[in-house]
Structure 1
Amino acid sequence: MPLLAVAPMMDWTDRHCRFLHRQLSRHALLYTEMVTAPALVRGQAMHLLDYSAAEHPVALQLGGSDPAELAKAAKLGTEAGYDEINLNVGCPSDRVQSGTFGAVLMKDPGLVAECCAALIEASAVEVTVKCRIGVDDQVPQEVMPEFLARVSASGVSRFAIHARKAWLEGLSPKENREIPPLDYDLVLAMKGMFPALHLSINGGITSLDQAQAFLDAGMDGVMFGRAAYHQPAEILCSADRRIFGRGDADSTVRTAVHAMLPYIENHLAGGGRLHQVTRHMLGLFAGRPGARGWRRTLSEGAVREGAGPELVLEALACVT
């Protein structure tokens, strides 16, 4: 069961980002950006399921609220080889609300349970849920026990809980990640109430020390969001040893950069652009001497026509 995961993050955790993160940790569970069931089922956007076999273990996060459509999307994800199907019950964006899925589903645990039952029937892999502790004027202490009870009755046994409410009106998605106060104690209390469920805690977690403290306190897993994106080395390079207890030596950023070069060459050969990959690499040396030169070289050069792996090596030379 996953002790540490990198959260699904729109516009961030695409396949290039996940390939990079896999160079830093062999065991962290990686999530796709949210993929909507209508895009797969009605839009036939199969390219949204593309990933590298090197990314495993990797989970597909789906967005939707129609059980039958979600089931079809889950079947496509299972056939594509994903290790887990996750239902988004946490995203607060207007676009998500207009489709009646994401965080707005916190208001209808019965529908979430129906969706999960359909997903489970259609999937050959485990179905999980990522949720908030409530939305708008809901009282989390009241809604979370009912939500977990009703949804787990459908057969879901793993939940990742973002320890913030979501405000569906009045706050932007960015503000919803920062303004509503974190309530870690509530999530810990849910683990006490539902000891048989595998519960991961998410939201505002910025270090492995903090992650270990949550595991020591009884949580089954920890999910990193923005910290894993902006400071991936700090979170992931020692995670296999510190969190998973593996005896392997910690990964190094320089080794990861060199491992990205063949991947970049392959991406360019397929018609891709360098910045599509390197935009996810800007934080690799965060806090280290030369990090500014690394970021500047990649930011300014990767968008230029013909930019290739040699620019990454040029940027790497900035780091002492």
Structure 2
Amino acid sequence: MIRPEDIRFSVAPMMDWTDRHCRYFHRLLSRRARLYTEMLTTGAVIHGDRLRLMGFDAFEHPVAFQLGGSEPADLGRAARIVEEFGYAEVNLNVGCPSDRVQNGAFGACLMQRPALVADCVKAMKDAVALPVTVKCRIGVDDQEPERALFDIAERCVEAGVDGLIVHARKAWLQGLSPKENRDIPPLDYALVHRLKRALPATPIAINGGIATLAQMREQLTEVDGVMVGRAAYHDPALLLQVDAELFDAPSPLADCFQAVEAFLPYIERELSKGERLSSITRHLLGLFAGLPGARSYRRRLALEAVRPGAGVEVLLDAVGEVRAAMARMSEPAPAS
């Protein structure tokens, strides 16, 4: 079962971004955020290298797994594997508009097949004791959003879904790229708020265009949770404020410098296993956004972390650029 407090704040599943390194780092910044994996298809879960694709550190918990697929039997089978791996939730993707999911007839395409989505939810619920959730759009292409969203939500509830996450935009499968689908279709928060009033017993989180704590607090007066994607990824310092501001809990770290120090043992451990530094530090490029020296930090990290054999000293030297710039800023002006 999903409780409203479980989804009060979450970091969105983002392809190529929310891998295990990213999630470990985000967990250092917030103990209360719910984290999500990148979407993985049922085929990859059932037939792929599961340890490589699905492995995660227990420190990441609570972490949810997002599945892509449209065959109820395969989704049930994949959900059992997800449960065996120890994830806290399994989420069905009904919102991704990429060419890959269109070719496979899943993701946002499923907005046009609400009965099938309900069958998928039921198959997953029958297969596992894990909470089963759905992340969807408010519609696709020429669908009328109110009808499309309410239809799929009500059918999912009838099938036993434990919670809904709604990206408050349509997806245009024809004519817009996945990137454009994240920005161009207008947001309709009010529609998601109406859905919550219609389904008061169902935990509902809202996603799309939410970037500040003030916006999050405003949304939480209408729905149970907010899901934040690019804002949290590109400016991860935002996560340092989440526990205190949204959960009335202590922040785990004081600032971004402490975050780097706390991450070093993990980085060294992964490097000792043969991981490349750049595969880890790419998730830290936005960490000092807005601070003096941030541009030098990003440039140094981007250029030097990719070099063969690069170690943690590259990250520490890059952070030193920020420290030096801040020290220069605090120096008193010379007497005239």
* TM-score over 0.5 (shorter chain): yes
Structure 1 Cα separation of the partners of residues 278 and 234 of structure 2: 16
Name the counterpart of 2:321: 318
Q: Pick from 78, 82, 85 the counterpart of residue 73 of structure 1.
A: 78
Tell whether 2:278 aligns with 1:275: yes
Name the counterpart of 1:199: 204
Tell whether 2:54 aligns with 1:16: no
Letter in 1 for 2:255: T
Structure 1 Cα separation of the partners of residues 293 and 83 of structure 2: 43
Structure 2 Cα separation of the partners of residues 290 and 125 of structure 1: 45
Once the 2 structures are TM-superposed, how far is the Cα of residue 277 of structure 1 from its aligned partner? Answer: 0.4
Name the counterpart of 1:60: 65
Deviation readout 1:11-42 (Å, 9 max, x if unpaired): 01011111110110001000000011111113
Structure 2 Cα separation of the partners of residues 312 and 123 of structure 1: 42
| Kept after mapping to 2: 8 A contact 1:71/1:118 | yes
Over the residues paired in the alignment, what is the CA RMSD in angstroms?
Answer: 1.1
| Kept after mapping to 2: 8 A contact 1:134/1:166 | yes
| Kept after mapping to 2: 8 A contact 1:241/1:249 | no
Once the 2 structures are TM-superposed, how far is the Cα of residue 247 of structure 1 from its aligned partner? Answer: 3.8
| Counterpart secondary structure, 1:237 | helix
Once the 2 structures are TM-superposed, how far is the Cα of residue 278 of structure 1 from its aligned partner? Answer: 0.4
| Counterpart secondary structure, 2:220 | helix
Once the 2 structures are TM-superposed, how far is the Cα of residue 251 of structure 1 from its aligned partner? Answer: 3.9
Q: Pick from 47, 51, 55 the counterpart of residue 56 of structure 2.
A: 51
Q: Pick from 258, 262, 268 the counterpart of residue 259 of structure 1.
A: 262
Letter in 1 for 2:113: D
Structure 1 Cα separation of the partners of residues 49 and 115 of structure 2: 28
Name the counterpart of 1:294: 297
| Kept after mapping to 2: 8 A contact 1:24/1:251 | no
Structure 1 Cα separation of the partners of residues 36 and 62 of structure 2: 9
TM-score of the two chains, using structure 2 as the length reference? 0.92
| Kept after mapping to 2: 8 A contact 1:161/1:187 | yes
| Counterpart secondary structure, 1:87 | strand
| Counterpart secondary structure, 2:101 | helix
Q: Pick from 227, 233, 249 the counterpart of residue 229 of structure 1.
A: 233
Name the counterpart of 1:151: 156
Deviation readout 1:197-253 (Å, 9 max, x if unpaired): 11101001111110001112x2100000100000110x2101001101114565421
**Mind listing any 5+ residue stretches in structure 1 that lack a counterpart?**
none
**Mind listing any 5+ residue stretches in structure 2 that lack a counterpart?**
1-5, 327-336
Structure 1 Cα separation of the partners of residues 241 and 158 of structure 2: 37
Structure 2 Cα separation of the partners of residues 46 and 54 of structure 1: 17
Name the counterpart of 1:174: 179
Q: Percent identity?
A: 56
| Counterpart secondary structure, 1:284 | coil
Tell whether 2:102 aligns with 1:85: no
Name the CA shift for 1:113/1:238 in 2 (closer, same or farther; >3 Å). Answer: same
* Aligned residue pairs, count: 318
Deviation readout 1:89-140 (Å, 9 max, x if unpaired): 0000011111111000000111111111111111221010100000000000
Name the counterpart of 1:95: 100
